[in-house]
Structure 1
Amino acid sequence: MAAKIFKQGDEVAVLDDSFSGRVKSYMGSRVVIETTEGFELEFAENELVKLHNATDIKSFVSSQSMGRILKEKEEPKKRSFVKEKKSKKDGFVLEVDLHIEKLVPNKKGMSNYDILTLQTETAKRQIEFAMRNRMQRVVLIHGVGEGILKAELDFLLGRYDGITFQDADYQKYGLGATEVYIKQNPDR
């Protein structure tokens, strides 16, 4: 069995989260910590960093990999939530995935209202982008869920002139997508 990196009472921080605590014990190979809020949580050793002592951190992680970890935490990862697809038969179709995991790297701390607002604002921004760039079709991938986002999208799309919409192709997208048709004004 490998030597344990942490001992009872060590103050540690969780690498991929925004909380810290004290080491209570080991449960097998997992470290049990008590957070500052009083919750007991289990983590793998490589998910924790000891606080207040730089030499312990260097023995835990080499300085090169520590630099990489810190850089990953500071720089947001580039994400693509707009998928473009071309088909000879259908012309250009802008596909917008509105699943929250595609829009933000971490949804912790976001209320359901915040999530729904971000999703509807993204849909609105992409529809207006398509209108400005004279795109005729947009597919909004919203998922099935409880239907709240779909209802919000139906309300949003109903407010635009020159737009019709319907459920997208079931074989291609399943039940969780809406296809938007934008009527182009020829004198623009």
Structure 2
Amino acid sequence: MNKEINIGTFVEVLDEDFKGKVVKLMGDEAVILTNDGFELMYPIKQLILIGDDSIIKQGSSYGAIESAKTQKVTVNHHKVNTEKKSKKDEIVLEVDLHIEKLVKNFKHMNNFDILNIQVDTARGQLEFAIKNRIPKLVFIHGMGEGVLKSELEYLLGRYPEISFQDANYRKYGLGATEVYIKQNPNN
């Protein structure tokens, strides 16, 4: 069996989990380059010649590296499909109309004053969005008794360039109204 082991043959070490290619012979010892790229010296008596070199090359990382060195590497130039979102999806003005978000101290206010502040804030933010051509608003009003929601619907109904509906339930729950402002390029 020793006569068959030459430089370039593939061998396996007895009683150990090493396989590799013989790269140097020195008397009765051989230096093998393992599949992991390490050079190890073993007595030739402990080496077993193993099958077809091409099968070992395909199965080992060393063989894969060697074959990759000799082959031309082709680069994949395919672009990942990244859909660009329109500006309508990107710009959303969220307005939280909960009174604690609008004023610091509201304990002394009655319901009428609170409602007026909330509606005035909604009107101001709506005018701001129209003026700055922001196509989508979300008014977060909460569930409550529905008084603020009905006032918002009355306010929004006075603007012909606006459509509105309940906002996304997953994101806002039941207490939000989504407003779309139709953009007219002539303005």
Scaled to the shorter chain, the TM-score interval is: 0.5 to 0.7
Query: What CA distance in whole angstroms lies between the structure 1 residues aligned with 2:117 and 2:85?
Result: 32
Q: SS of the residue aligned with 1:181?
A: strand
Using the TM superposition, give the Cα deviation of residue 169 of structure 1 relative to its aligned residue in structure 2, in angstroms: 0.3
Q: SS of the residue aligned with 2:179?
A: strand
Give matches, 1:80-99, under 5 Å: 88=85, 90-99=89-98
Query: What CA distance in whole angstroms lies between the structure 2 residues aligned with 1:108 and 1:91?
Result: 37
Structure 1, unaligned runs of 5 or more: 1-86
Query: What CA distance in whole angstroms lies between the structure 2 residues aligned with 1:112 and 1:159?
Result: 24
In the TM superposition, structure 1's runs of 4+ consecutive aligned residues that sit over 2 Å from their partners are: none
Q: SS of the residue aligned with 1:114?
A: helix
2:182 paired with 1:183 = yes
Q: SS of the residue aligned with 1:180?
A: strand
Residue aligning to 2:157: 158
Using the TM superposition, give the Cα deviation of residue 138 of structure 1 relative to its aligned residue in structure 2, in angstroms: 0.3
Using the TM superposition, give the Cα deviation of residue 170 of structure 1 relative to its aligned residue in structure 2, in angstroms: 0.3
Residue aligning to 1:146: 145
Residue aligning to 1:169: 168
Structure 2, unaligned runs of 5 or more: 1-83
Give the counterpart letter for 2:167 in structure 1. A
The structure with the larger Rg is: 2
Query: What CA distance in whole angstroms lies between the structure 2 residues aligned with 1:182 and 1:93?
Result: 11
1:81-106 alpha-carbon deviations (Å, 9 max, x no partner): xxxxxx94612000000000000111
Give matches, 1:1-188, under 5 Å: 88=85, 90-188=89-187
Seq. identity, % = 66
Query: What CA distance in whole angstroms lies between the structure 2 residues aligned with 1:88 and 1:97?
Result: 25
Higher strand proportion: 1
Give the counterpart letter for 1:159 in structure 2. R
Query: What CA distance in whole angstroms lies between the structure 1 residues aligned with 2:133 and 2:91?
Result: 11
Give the counterpart letter for 1:135 in structure 2. I
Query: What CA distance in whole angstroms lies between the structure 1 residues aligned with 2:107 and 2:85?
Result: 41
Using the TM superposition, give the Cα deviation of residue 109 of structure 1 relative to its aligned residue in structure 2, in angstroms: 1.2
1:55-104 alpha-carbon deviations (Å, 9 max, x no partner): xxxxxxxxxxxxxxxxxxxxxxxxxxxxxxxx946120000000000001
CA-based RMSD: 1.3
Query: What CA distance in whole angstroms lies between the structure 1 residues aligned with 2:85 and 2:169?
Result: 20
Query: What CA distance in whole angstroms lies between the structure 2 residues aligned with 1:121 and 1:187?
Result: 28
- Give the number of equivalent residue pairs: 102
TM-score w.r.t. structure 1 length?
0.53
Query: What CA distance in whole angstroms lies between the structure 2 residues aligned with 1:165 and 1:108?
Result: 32
